[in-house]
Amino acid sequence: MKQTYIKTWGCQMNEYDSSMIAKYLEKTGQYSMTTNSEKADILVLNTCSIREKAQEKVFHQLGRWKKLKNKNPNVIIAVGGCVATQEGEEIFKRSKHVDIIFGTQSLHKLPKMISEIEKKRKFLIDISFPELDKFNCSLPVQKKGYTASVSIMEGCNKYCTFCIVPYTRGKEISRPSDDILFEISNLAENGIREVNLLGQNVNAYQGPTFNGKTCFFSELLRLISEIDGIDRIRFTTSNPLEFTDDIIEVYKDTPKLVSFLHLPVQSGSNKILKLMKRSYTTEKYEKIIEKLIEARPNIQISSDFIVGFPGESKEDFQQTINFIKKINFDMSYSFIYSSRPGTPASEMKDEINLKEKKERLYILQNYINKQTMSWSRRMLGSIQSVLVEGISKNNPMELYGKTENNRIVNFYGSSKIIGKFAQVKINKVHTHNLKGTLL
């Protein structure tokens, strides 16, 4: 069995893709996974192009792997993911020791590509978009813990001016609803209690059904909630533009859908949202939140923010801070804007210096952190439903689990309840976790 090392950069979609790569390789019976790159026969780099200088980060890693290949010329190096799709043969030109380049939609071809390299030792590239072929192969369920991510769609049609995703993952395409339900049913039979539905824009899901009709996202959520064994449903990520009333209605009648939503807004300034081509306003976003709170009064919201987008004035930034306070976001993923080659925003004039961007980011994150702590303090004395995931990493005498609103809780209890839901009373609040008492 050949040892395979997979290094993953990026979002949950990249993590999900890497898990599929591992399954495809292991299914052949010829490969096993290793955490030691120096002992690997196959080195796989699954890349992301969202962050600044993503391409250079890839080439730096490939430079480090070149030393391993110099020691063992038989080592096979494969580069996949968004940077692979974006850069294509340019990777070969700069790193001639790379053997394989594969795209986000062609990862299922990797076992065959490796086999061909072993026979001919000639580099291969496949960054085509064969729609959903990568999901069509039957794969064994790999159980790690009691939560699992399931990809329900690929790609995006929004073409926000800052985003490279439509160019690296293609247009929106939804998996058949029956395939998704079958996969989740198998996960439930193997002990999974919580699923997280993944996609670049999950609320745009429109999957074909067995009888030729279309299953929309709201219907898919209700169907998943009927699967025995699945007691919690999450999803990420979604776009306010298509967060329609039928999805909001699900929060009224589907208690398995958690009272926690990640809904990216990116900016609190309508001027900046227009420059980003987000196609909604802060007023529309606020109206969605109002409807969600009406449907689920205890819901908490997290979001994404880009700081220092070209054209963002001090007034625009202050509008974002005011919006953060108004919505009372619980958490956020916030970043300094970085230009992505090939996107419309890369052609915009960026007059904000890095020092100013860093100061704005610090201010924004400081406000969010205060609100996160405020939300946590509200939980003091409350009784939370906690999915018990294992032994605490900091104290082997304690268990740990996760609440609906993504808080880690540590508490004393029997290992027999691992993998089950437990009622825990919160009696201490810390910055990064909670302490509780098992009821």
Does residue 437 have a cis bond before it (omega within 30 degrees)?
no
Better-scored residue on pLDDT, 318 or 86 = 318
Fold of 2-126: Rossmann fold (3.40.50)
pLDDT tier for residue 167 given thresholds of 50, 70 and 90: confident
Could you name the CATH architecture of 380-438?
Beta Barrel (2.40)
For residue 439, the tally of other CB atoms under 10 A from its CB is: 9
For residue 29, the tally of other CB atoms under 10 A from its CB is: 8
DSSP state of 415: G
Is the pLDDT confidence value at 21 over 60?
Answer: yes
pLDDT tier for residue 142 given thresholds of 50, 70 and 90: low
Domain spans of the chain?
A: 2-126, 147-377, 380-438
Q: Given this model, what pLDDT does residue 68 score? A: 95
pLDDT tier for residue 86 given thresholds of 50, 70 and 90: confident
Structure tokens at 418: 């691992």
DSSP assignments along 161-183, one per residue: TT--HHHHH-S-EEPPHHHHHHH
Tell me the mean pLDDT in the region 273-294.
98
pLDDT tier for residue 294 given thresholds of 50, 70 and 90: very high
* 115 contacts 147 by C-beta, under 8 angstroms: no
Residue 156 annotated in ligand binding: yes
Is the pLDDT confidence value at 130 over 70?
Answer: no
pLDDT tier for residue 143 given thresholds of 50, 70 and 90: low
Q: Given this model, what pLDDT does residue 125 score? A: 93
Is the pLDDT confidence value at 192 over 80?
Answer: yes
Q: Edge-to-edge strand order for the sheet containing 194-198?
A: 147-151, 194-198, 232-236
- Residue closest to 402 by CA, chosen among 387, 413, 412: 387
- Between CA 324 and CA 330 the distance in angstroms is 9
Tell me the mean pLDDT in the region 140-146.
70
- Between CA 43 and CA 4 the distance in angstroms is 6
CB-count exposure of residue 140 (10 Å: 0-12, 13-18, 19+): exposed
Residue 215 annotated in ligand binding: no
25-38, pLDDT tens digit by residue? Answer: 998 999 999 999 99
Q: Given this model, what pLDDT does residue 105 score? A: 84
Mean pLDDT of the chain: 93
Q: Given this model, what pLDDT does residue 139 score? A: 60
* 33 contacts 4 by C-beta, under 8 angstroms: yes
Q: For residue 408, what is the enclosing H or E element?
A: strand 408-412
CATH superfamily label, 147-377: tm_1862 like domain (3.80.30.20)
**Which pTM was predicted?**
0.88
